[in-house]
Amino acid sequence: SAIGFLVGQAMKKTQGKANPKKIGELIKRRLS
């Protein structure tokens, strides 16, 4: 999914330090 892809990109940028759930929620909020 697009959200999964974007979460993956964010995890790469933060070297795995970001919280995937939080990123997913932020992306969903932006897309809605």
- Please give the model's pTM, rounded to 2 decimal places: 0.69
The residue type of 27 is I
pLDDT tens across 1-32, in order? 899 999 999 999 999 999 999 999 999 999 88
| Tokens 């970001």, residue located | 18
Nearest-Å Rg of the Cα atoms of the chain is 9
Please tell me the total count of domains within the chain. 1
Q: Which letter, b or e, does each residue of 1-32 get, where b requires 16 or more Cβ atoms within 10 Å of its Cβ?
A: eeeeebbeebeeeeeeeeeeeebbeebeeeee
| Tokens 């999964």, residue located | 4
What is the model's pLDDT at position 17?
94
Its domain, for residue 22, covers 2-31
